[in-house]
Chain A
């Protein structure tokens, strides 16, 4: 399927709008080169190209001039102190910030070459392709089965095919064996870790291209966290994953690329987040370029 066309609410739009927009060369990060340096496959396809992203909440600038690319079938981790805008940035990729009153995203995020922030793009379709897992497990107040089936039903999956979709999604989320005998029971009866895996299963049930994860393990114990991390490692063969985490060991364990964000206060005391360094995870944690990154990952600055 051609993503350029499928995302449009009214096709055909003017061809020049659909063409991949060029961002200034000096702000581009050459993903293939850094990936090659890290000993990974160099021909990785780029899923997202972000050029000079600024996010405002009303008059307040929460994030400044972020430029980075996200590669397909990799795990990209966003780390940084609280208030550095990493969650805000994550929510730009599926236009979740649209739901926050007063939030405004400046700049272009090209998804397979289509700018997500042009008028012709339907945010609902974006969210079908770019799924999300939230910080706190948030299952629907419905049965386990209906939690998974909700998205596919909306997407028009036939009733006869739903059972397979539910089983497939739960299996891929490593939850099927634990819940197969109680699919009709409330999702609230599951433990926190199970609920979060249910939310992951729900996100992949609509067969997205990308899965965004906003601190998915912060409410979980180490054992449940370990299971989610294993799951992420398996899921990356099929999906592109972007994960926000406060846990630097977690970022080091599971991610291929790491972006370190920090905050800077202006003279009026407003704290704006910015991207400090974006590099292969192995480099960030062994030989960071920026002294601020080094200070953060070695624990000298919180």
Chain B
């Protein structure tokens, strides 16, 4: 390093030292390409999945879509069968799920973050709720069968949309709680202090400042949880979603909540296990429809988030 001892040496040394050296940061470039590769794989996987389903179901989607959307299940032939009952059932189940899961979940989160904040009790409850989020859906199905279908059948009328919705509500409840907890925790304390500082009560701080600030995140998480519920088949089969031919009889829309029902994922399962290639086409087409439905719900979540988004 003796060149650095004279000013001229420093100058030439700098010109050398500052020059970009190809291959100096191999690990960095490799890491970047690894990340790009993973991204391409993840999105490519989804694209292929979607493409395969559309191609497989194209016969129904292109030629027979209206009939497929507006008719119920039929035992006689694949061409006669439709998914109307499944779409209606799924939307009804999602509605019941939302009605039970959202108020309960958001209220739990508010209690944990704003009232029991930091207490041992809150930490234990929160940890357990996080674990519950990982419980397989089939377990919730068994819970639904034992509790919602059999124990409180006076309220649910047995194997009905209400029992199904409550089962899925139990399933998504941990997700709703966790996202709401995170949303509330993300509201900066400076906002709470500002409100307390001008003489707001706890209720006024919560209702006028904290909840509005957390609303967009809570809404997004909630809708995403409902989208997850929309795609579940296993617990619904356990709590009585029809897997074969079913009829509403002459029930009106309200009565269908306490009558036989089915759901889109259950119908797909049903189509897929029938013998014959034409049933497979139905399964693929129904899969595309459920994807569109879920994407629509997710789109709604994004719309709501942008609509209510606040910054601080």
Contact = CB atoms under 8 A, between A and B. Distances in A.
Q: Do A and B bind each other?
A: yes
Interface string B190-226: 1111111111110010001100110000000000000
B201 A134 contact: no
Interface in A18-54: none
B199 A134 contact: no
B23 interface: no
Given A140-B191, A140-B209, A141-B213, A96 B197 contact: yes
Contacts of A128: 198-199
What bracket does the count of chain A residues touching chain B fall in? Answer: 20 to 34
B206 to A, nearest CB: 13
B238 to A, nearest CB: 43
A256 to B, nearest CB: 24
B312 A94 contact: no
Contact of B199 (A127, A139, A141, A199): A127
In the complex, which range does the number of interface residues on chain B fall in? Answer: 20 to 34
A192 B267 CA distance: 58
Given A150-B208, A154-B204, A188-B312, A203 B190 contact: no
A271 interface: no
B117 interface: yes
Given A136-B190, A141-B312, A154-B204, A101 B196 contact: no
B118 interface: yes
B310 interface: yes
Interface in B281-310: 310
A140 B191 CA distance: 6
Contact of A124 (B188, B192, B201, B208): B201
Contact of A125 (B118, B194, B199): B199
A124 B200 contact: yes
B198 A154 contact: yes
A99 B195 CA distance: 12
A138 B198 contact: no
Contact of A99 (B188, B192, B204, B310): B192
Given A101-B118, A188-B312, A96 B196 contact: yes
A154 B209 CA distance: 13
A132 interface: yes
A203 B201 CA distance: 16
A145 to B, nearest CB: 15
A128 B117 CA distance: 25
A128 B199 CA distance: 4
Nearest to A136: B190
B311 A139 contact: no
Contact of A138 (B193, B200, B213, B310): B193
A1 to B, nearest CB: 15
A155 B198 CA distance: 9
A94 B117 CA distance: 21
Contacts of B201: 124, 154
Given A101-B118, A140-B209, A134 B193 contact: yes
Nearest to A139: B194
Interface in A130-149: 131-132, 134, 136, 138-141
Nearest to B190: A138
A154 to B, nearest CB: 6
A138 B190 CA distance: 6
Contacts of B209: 140
7 contacts: A96-B196, A99-B192, A99-B196, A141-B212, A154-B204, A188-B312, A203-B198
